[in-house]
Amino acid sequence: MIGPVSGVLVLAGTPIGQVGDAPPRLAAELAAADVVAAEDTRRLRRLVADLDVELSGRVVSYFEGNEAARTPALVEALVAGERVVLVTDAGMPSVSDPGYRLVAAAVEAGIRVTAVPGPSAVLTALAVSGLPVDRFCFEGFLPRKAGERSRRLTDLAAEQRTMVFFEAPHRTEAALAAMRDAFGPERAAAVCRELTKTHEEVRRDALAALVDWAAEGVRGEVTIVVAGAVPGAGVKTDPDSLRAAVAALEADGVRRKEAVAAVAVQAGLPKRNVYQVVHIDD
C-alpha cells in the first residue's frame, strides 16, 4: 500500500446515443483532466467536438487489447498527483467495458476513485422493458460458442430476478434461441435496440416470438432483458414434454445433468422426477 497521494481517477459515463444526454460534469472533467484514457481516441475526439470542449491534458488509448500493459503507467500518473479521466465508447467504464483493471490497481495504490454518473444501457433497458425491476441481475455478454452459451443459460434457468444481457447484433438470433431453449418459449423478454438513438426499437414478446423476429436480421447495439423464472410455468409436466425439453437442451450441447436441472426448474418439479422420466427408456 502506497502512502497518501493526491491523484484522482474519474470514471466518466458517456452518452449511449444522443450527445445531449451527456451529464454537465463530463465536459468539465474532460477539460480539466491531466490524462484522458479513452477506449477509442477517435470517438473521444468526436465527443469533445460535440461538447465544445478543448482538451488540455494528454490523451492515451485504453482498450481491451492494451489495458494490462497500460495500467501501470496510468497508476504512476495517479501516484504522481495527476487527474486521470477514463471514458469508454458509451456508458460507464468497467461495466462490460475497460476499467475494472485500472480501478482495482488504483484502489490497491490508495488512489481516490470517483465517477461522473451518466447514461446506462442496463438501466435504460430495464426501465423501458416493461418487466419487473425491483430485483435484477446483469449478465453482460454471453459466451460466443454455442455449447458454453447454453450451459451459462442453463445455470440461469432458476434465476428469479429479471436478467439483462448485452449482445452483438449478428448473434442476437442465436442468443434468443438459446434463451428460448433454456428458459422456455413463453418466457417474457424485451430486445432493446439502438437505445436513445434515432432508430430506437423495443420489442416485447415471448422468447419464441422474438426468435422469429430476429431471424429477419438485427442491427445496432442490442440489450436483452428477460423475465425471471416462475417455478412451474415453463414446461408441461407430462413425460413426453419433459423428455423433449431435455433432448432439446442436449442437442445444443448442454450436459444431461444440467439439462435435467433446467427442465426441472421450468416444470416446477424435483430433479429426481425429471431424471427418472428421462432415463426410463435407457
Residue 271 in this model has a pLDDT that exceeds 60:
yes
Residue 235 in this model has a pLDDT that exceeds 90:
no
Query: For 58-96, how does the pLDDT look when each residue is reduced to its tens digit (9 = 90+)?
Result: 999 999 999 999 999 999 999 999 999 999 999 999 887
Q: Read off the pTM.
A: 0.79
User: Cell digits for 32?
Assistant: 480539466
β strands within 29-187, DSSP E? 35-38, 58-61, 83-87, 112-116, 136-141, 162-167
**Alpha carbon 223 to chain centroid, angstroms:** 7
Three-state DSSP class for residue 50 = helix
Of 81, 88, 98, give the one whose Cα is nearest residue 36.
88
| Rounded-to-integer distance, Cα 140 and Cα 187, Å | 19
pLDDT band at 1 (very low <50, low <70, confident <90, very high): very low
CA-CA distances (angstroms) from residue 10 to 86, 97, 120, 142? 6, 15, 17, 28
What's the maximum distance between 2 C-alpha atoms anywhere in the chain? Answer: 73
Left (φ > 0), alpha (ψ -120 to 50) or beta: where does 12 sit? Answer: beta
Which domains does the chain carry?
8-119 (3.40.1010.10), 122-148+160-226 (3.30.950.10)
Rounded mean pLDDT, 5-10: 86
Residue 281 in this model has a pLDDT that exceeds 70:
no
**Average confidence score pLDDT of the chain:** 90
